Amino acid sequence: MRTRGRGGAPRAALRLAGAALALLAAATPAWAARVTGVVVDHAGKPVEYATVSAPALKRGTATDERGAFTLDLPPGPALLEAQQIGYEHARVAVVVTDSIAPLRITLRVAAVPLAEVTISTSSFGKAGKSEGAVVRRADILTTPGGAADIFQSLRALPGINAPNDGAALYVRGGNPRETVIRLDHGEIGHPYHWEGASGGLFSAIDTYMIESAFFSTGAFSARYGGALSGVLDIQTQDPVNLKTVSLGANLAGESASSTWSLVPDRLSFVGSLANAAPGLLLDLYGSPREYARPPTSLNGAGKLLYRYSQTGRLALLYLESHDRVGVTSEFLNTSALYSRSAASRLGSLQFSDVVGGALVLRSQLSGQWYDGRWSYGPTAASQVERPRQASVDAVWPIGSGHELAFGAVLHHDDAAITGRFAADSTDLLTGAPTREQRTHPVADAPGAYLEDKLRLWGPLYATLGARLDRAPAAGLWTVDPRGALAWRIDARQSVRLAGGRYHQPADPAFLDPRYGNPRLSPLAADHLVAGYEWKSDAANLRVELYDKRYHDLVTRDAATWYANRGHGDARGVDVFLQGSHRWLSGWVSYGYLDSKRMELDDSHEVPSRDGNGHSVTLVARYQASSTLQLGAKYNFTNGRAFTPVVGRSFDAGRGLWRPVYGEHNSERLPDYQRLDLRLTRLFSLPAGLGVPASSVCAFYIEGLNILGLRNAQDIVYSLDYAESRTVDSVFSRRFLVAGVSLTW
């Protein structure tokens, strides 16, 4: 079954690898002339991801985030067409020569851009008027406190409840399993290093490989299945005619990466290798934990990209990661060595092309091999997964203001969990009784979706869609209708309403035929999101109200071990204000969440341990000069809910004290606060000693938890439960990390 990892132990992999990107221009084939230009709206602002084509010649391309495009055409007269959903089409007649001047194509805005009414209303930080990425590589590299890591950087966005230092995505009251993570259109499991109870600490995907990532916190498109709360869709970069080599090092590790054009305009390679060994960092600044084996990790990635035509792409991607850690960990009244090792390998083949000058086709085949092993006290287990996936997606722009999208997917889920587990969760001391468990569910889960974006009337647009998925464990099909409405009040303001139903398979750990229920139905949630947006040249304000209702959550059952009798809700508001003035830029995000759930051994709905209360993030960046940037990030979150121990009883048979629990999740850990600072200085190296002059290089200093605030991760107890104390989180010490990235 598809599983999503839970996280961590420490690593501080801070890099600015690849600071100089796309610095070399693409070469022009001898049989064509290069036509360049920019697509803008009536105000002169770039229109990103617009299609620019020469239909008669069956050639086409898309603009980048700056509205720029490059198109190779044979010499002679040509008629170019430019279009983007929500704009009127434009046609330009040109005569293509070797000396043709750059073009400027202006699109007139239609009543409202369709992509602004996409079901993914909760995608904060979208660029331009299209359904663009929430986070780009430059954002990941420069977010203070983000450690140049995509998961740590996402913590600065609204909709994420982050009451600890982990990288796992707790989206609007949902646990990390409720967010699907995709890499180049295929799902990826266990994308973190040092997984554990806090959901991992850093990404196993090197930032150098990332071009952009789309993130949605609710009411997302019908093309995404198997998720109750959120979507993170990561795209790796597609370099063209670029030859660079980057080396990076800091107190926590080192990295190397390269982009290389093998055949101009046709074949290129991009790859990275990173090693993290933060033992020196822990020795310098101390740690709230005692390590028998300091955390180490190694991850590498390579992508081979072949452009067989102006619109056709074939890509082969391989990703591999390893990590190990041995740390003394405390749980309830037990202190024991927690050891973990994990290895993950993922390979995928991707294809994309434009058929008939209009229909965009994209397909992928992927497979992952994961092997994780852990031990703690008398318990130990291994988890081996072999998921595979095939999918095809199509987008057909039927006409101005009308777009149809459809696709299908087949998941082959294969997860084996074997080990010794505690017979009594309150007894993990030496000699505690355990039970052997072997779970190996294997299933094929097909799915399909259809989505239609259209203009209903005047400034009112809609997205209507549905998703159909097979739940093999329960032997049933699920149907998820989804839809959205948007009304553009004027050129700066819009109001949106979106909703739908979402399903997700149960965790494989609950499907054991002996100690579980292999017939569990999928978990379900209903989303309703209402949003308002105001946007100007210097500022952007977004406000969203949401209501998420859970159904069929997993509860314990005396007859079948587990059953689908749980339910709950999560409702709240997210506010995002982003702005810039001269050399100063930044944003403020605020979220309020009220979430209750009844699951596992809850007798009724109780506050969710996956997020509640208030959260505030302040991010500021000051560009002191063209080569010097200062940044700061402050984060505040109400503490996580937990179930207190209110009494104790003595077990004479085992000779130990057992806890007496109070009301579930009735108390909270102390509030979480953290201030991070970052200084980045760009420079270049002259040629010398046979080494050519460098491109843009970077030196950086990052201060994590600069105030040294001691945030709590959990509550532990003495052997007799007479006393309790908090356990500090990973970054409850002040860390100062310096590093450098060199690029040629």
DSSP assignment of 586-645, as one string?
EEEEEEEEEEEEE-BT-SS-EE-TT--EEEEEEEEEEEEETTEEEEEEEEEEPPPEEPPE
| Rounded mean pLDDT, 509-524 | 90
Beta strands in 194-309 (DSSP E): 202-203, 210-216, 230-236, 244-250, 253-263, 267-276, 291-306
Give the model's pLDDT for residue 455: 87
Please provide residue 347's backbone torsions phi and psi, each rounded to the nearest 5 degrees: -130, 145
Q: Is the pLDDT of residue 47 over 90?
A: no
- Supply the pLDDT for residue 265: 87
Is the pLDDT at 17 greater than 70? The verdict is no
Structural tokens at position 349: 């083949």
Closest CA to 289 of 9, 54, 707: 9
Q: Let me know the angle formed at the C-alpha of 230 by 372 and 527, rounded to the nearest 5 degrees.
A: 140
Q: What is the pLDDT of residue 314?
A: 96
d(CA 663, CA 96): 75
Cα maximum dimension of the chain: 94
3 state DSSP class of 712: strand
> With 80 as the cut, is the pLDDT of residue 647 above it?
yes
- Give the model confidence (pLDDT) of 656-688 as tens digits: 899 999 999 999 999 999 999 999 888 888 888
Percent of the chain with pLDDT over 70: 91
Q: What is the DSSP string of 641-702?
A: EEPPEEEEEEETTTTEEEEEE-STT-EEPPPEEEEEEEEEEEE----BTTBPPP--EEEEEE
CATH fold for domain 135-743: Maltoporin; Chain A (2.40.170)
Select the more confidently predicted residue: 291 or 114: 291
Residue 86: pLDDT band with limits 50, 70, 90: low
Per residue in 269-307, pLDDT (tens digit) is 999 999 998 888 888 888 878 888 888 999 999 999 999
121: three-class secondary structure by DSSP: coil
Nearest to 471 by CA among 459, 462, 480: 480
Residues 413-423 have a mean pLDDT of: 91
Q: What angle do CA 550, 503, 530 make, to 5 degrees?
A: 60
Cα dihedral sign for 166, 168, 173, 174? negative
Asked if residues 684 and 696 have their Cβ atoms less than 8 Å apart, the reply is yes
Mean pLDDT (whole number) for 636-640: 92
Instruction: Give the pLDDT band (50/70/90) at residue 724.
Output: very high
Distance, CA of 402 to CA of 201 (rounded, Å): 42
Lowest mean pLDDT among 121-130, 461-470, 602-611, 692-701: 121-130
Q: Are strands 244-250 and 712-717 parallel, antiparallel or unpaired?
A: unpaired
Question: What are 463-506's pLDDT values in tens digits?
Answer: 999 999 998 878 899 999 999 999 989 888 999 999 999 999 99
Residues 50 and 69: their CA atoms lie apart, in Å, by 9
**Does residue 7 have a pLDDT over 60?**
no
Q: Where are the alpha helices (DSSP H) in 172-299?
A: 279-285
pLDDT band at 32 (very low <50, low <70, confident <90, very high): low
Cβ atoms of 180 and 460 closer than 8 Å: no
Which of 83-87, 272-276, 292-296, 561-565 shows the lowest per-residue confidence on average (mean pLDDT)? Answer: 83-87
Residue 292's alpha-carbon distances to 279, 325, 336, 695, in angstroms, are 11, 8, 11, 41
Given the structure tokens 């795209």, which residue do they identify? 235
Answer yes or no: are the C-beta atoms of 684 and 695 closer than 8 Å: yes
Please check the confidence at residue 61 and state whether its pLDDT lies above 70.
yes
CB 184 within 8 A of CB 231: no
Name which of 105, 57, 110 is nearest 82 in CA terms.
Answer: 105
Poorest-pLDDT segment among 43-52, 426-435, 560-569: 43-52
Decide if pLDDT at 118 tops 50. Answer: no
| pLDDT score of 11 | 31
Residue of 459, 492, 395, 407 whose CA lies nearest to 51? 395
Which residues, at least 6 apart from 165, have a Cβ–Cβ distance to it below 8 Å?
A: 198, 201, 674, 711, 713, 729, 730, 731
| pLDDT number for residue 70 | 87
CA distance 405 to 280: 51
Query: pLDDT (tens digit, 9 = 90+) per residue, 567-609?
Result: 999 999 999 998 888 889 899 999 999 999 999 999 999 999 8
Provide the pLDDT for residue 275: 93
Q: What's the pLDDT tens digit per position in 190-235? A: 998 888 745 677 888 988 898 888 888 889 999 999 999 999 999 8
Using 50, 70 and 90 to split pLDDT, how confident is the model at 341? very high
Q: How confident is the model at residue 131 (pLDDT cuts 50, 70, 90)?
A: very low
The count of C-alpha atoms lying within 13 angstroms of the C-alpha of 39, restricted to the half-sphere facing its C-beta, is 33
Closest CA to 109 of 132, 131, 129: 129
pLDDT above 90 (res 142): no
Q: Quick one: which of 245, 240, 300, 235 has its CA closest to 268?
A: 240
CA 128/CA 68 separation, integer angstroms:
13
Whether the per-residue pLDDT at 45 is higher than 60: the answer is yes
Q: How does pLDDT run across 348-405, given as a tens digit for each residue?
A: 999 999 888 889 999 999 999 999 999 999 999 999 999 999 999 999 988 777 889 9
Parallel, antiparallel, or unpaired for β 613-625 and 645-651? unpaired
Most confident listed range (58-62, 146-150, 193-197, 525-529): 525-529
pTM for the whole thing? Answer: 0.81
- Among the residue ranges 59-73, 204-218, 521-535, 559-573, the one predicted with the least confidence is 59-73
Most confident of 33-42, 393-402, 552-561: 552-561
Instruction: State yes or no: pLDDT of 28 exceeds 70.
Output: no
